[in-house]
Structure 1
Amino acid sequence: MSIDMNGLTADVSTHGTQTVVALAGEIDLSNHVALRTALNDLIVGGSVDLVLDLTDVTFMDSTGLGAMIGTRRRVHAFQGSLAIVLTNDAILRVFEVTGLDKVFDLYDSRAAALRKPDTNLSQA
């Protein structure tokens, strides 16, 4: 399934019990509400073990971080998990500067996030 959100696209696929949401484009003020809504719909629909793949995200502002924080809260309220795949150093830096790299489970590849090893970018 593919979702278009004003310059941001999301391709959703299922891998075992995990749902991968591969995002591409910019996450900003113009589309963060649509992103929150799409992620919330997945969670309420039963997809509570999410992998957000930000590999193709080229920019993310504070509203994007807010969407990530809200998604983490909702997933945990449903006893689920959230893993984030980051390969863009600039976006990883946003997580580091805000201290959110200590809050989220960050991985450097989708394969690693799907395996959910004990070692991830947050713990490295």
Structure 2
Amino acid sequence: MARLDRTTDTVTVVLTGEVDVLTVDQVRSALAEAIAARPRSMTVDLSDLSFIDSTGLGALVFGFQRARDAGITFRLSRPTSGVRQILVVSGLLEVVELED
């Protein structure tokens, strides 16, 4: 579901499969662990994510807010078309940076 990749200044959280009420705790834990590493920047890779529900969006907001409070740049990366549509409709992309 969630995997961390670390370089010296960047932590990437890779989300795979589906993020929903059954898996959101794993995502929150991975985001919290990434923030605890105190990187300069943090990227959430969505390229292998097939679905995200409102609880998953809430976890991304949680990660964004915690990273911002810690002075860590937070961005989303490479969402699939279906996930991108959910991010757009939710309004999350109005506050969180997106890399393609």
> 1:61 pairs with 53, 70, 73, which one?
53
| Bigger RCO (CA 8 Å, 6+ sep) | 2
Give the total of aligned pairs: 100
TM-align CA RMSD: 1.4
> 1:74 pairs with 63, 66, 69, which one?
66
Identity of aligned residues (%): 28
Deviations 1:80-110 (A, max 9, x none): 11111133111111111121111110111xx
Specify the structure having the higher radius of gyration (Cα).
1
> 2:23 pairs with 28, 31, 43, which one?
31
Whether 1:18 aligns to 2:10 is yes
Q: Distance in 1 between matches of 2:29 and 2:14?
A: 16
Structure 2 length-normalised TM: 0.90
For structure 2, list consecutive stretches of 5 or more residues without a partner in the other structure.
none
User: Cα distance, 1:24 vs. partner?
Assistant: 1.1
The 4+ residue runs of structure 1 with deviation greater than 6 A are none
> 2:32 pairs with 22, 37, 40, which one?
40
Deviations 1:53-104 (A, max 9, x none): 0000011000010000000000011011111113311111111112111111
Structure 1 length-normalised TM: 0.74
Q: Which residue of 2 aligns with 1:111?
A: none
Whether 1:107 aligns to 2:93 is no
